[in-house]
Amino acid sequence: MTRLRWLALLVLLLASSPLLVRAAAQPFDDPNDTDGVLDVSQVRMSSSNSPVWRTISFSKFRAFDMWDAGFVMVHIDGFGDGRFDHYALLYSDGRGFHGDLYRDRKKKSDYRIASLKVWRKDRSSISVRIPLDKLHLGEDRIDYRWIVKTLFSSENCRRVCIDRIPDTGVVTQLRPDVTPTPTVTPTDPPSPEPSP
């Protein structure tokens, strides 16, 4: 690769990285499109080594109402293979909310990695912190992908009402602890030009 191409690649990477971080740190709005109290209006995600996902519903909900009926999940693809290999599960015991982080393996049962910190700012939202060092992220990965899902069952949601944010696609988030660095491929030195 010539120096000019390498420099252009470096400028492109440096110029685009902050834009990607800003875009992924913005709130993600979702329309009023799902029955049940876990119809999400917005997901806010902070970018850090221990990012926080705050899921905000159109309706207020209590821990008692969510007991064995409502769940919030954050699915994460850390390997970049298009498959979500981790998920956080937020649930109620009837008195309060709890969260667990799981590894979703292809050919074996899922296993619990850790419990997660869960809290509520108000009665229409729930937040969870997921430390990235608990995930099995590929060392060469500079980003990870995520979506949020809510599941709720009730008289109005007999088949389980599911809301997905974003509705289609995924959110790609740059890892804050990794800076993309271009690799230089050695080339043969240019042959000297004949003198006139």
Percent of the chain with pLDDT strictly greater than 90: 59
Residue 13 has pLDDT above 60, yes or no: no
Specify the higher pLDDT residue, 187 or 37: 37
pTM of the model: 0.78
**Is residue 125 within 8 Å of residue 118, measured between CB atoms?**
no
Query: pLDDT tens digits, residue range 159-172?
Result: 999 999 999 999 99
Backbone phi, then psi, for 38, in 5-degree steps?
-100, 30
Query: pLDDT tens digits, residue range 109-159?
Result: 999 999 999 999 999 999 999 999 898 887 778 889 999 999 999 988 889
**Is residue 152 within 8 Å of residue 38, measured between CB atoms?**
yes
**Angle (nearest 5°) at CA 86 between 82 and 90:** 130
**Looking at residue 10, what is its pLDDT?**
39
Helix (H) or strand (E) holding 25: helix 3-25
Class of domain 24-174: mainly beta
**Looking at residue 141, what is its pLDDT?**
82
Query: pLDDT tens digits, residue range 40-98?
Result: 999 999 878 899 999 999 999 999 999 999 999 999 998 888 899 999 999 999 999 99
**Would you place residue 175 in the very low, low, confident or very high pLDDT band (cuts 50, 70, 90)?**
confident
Question: How does 94-111 read in b/e, with b if 16+ C-beta sit within 10 Å?
Answer: eeebebbbbbbeeeeeee
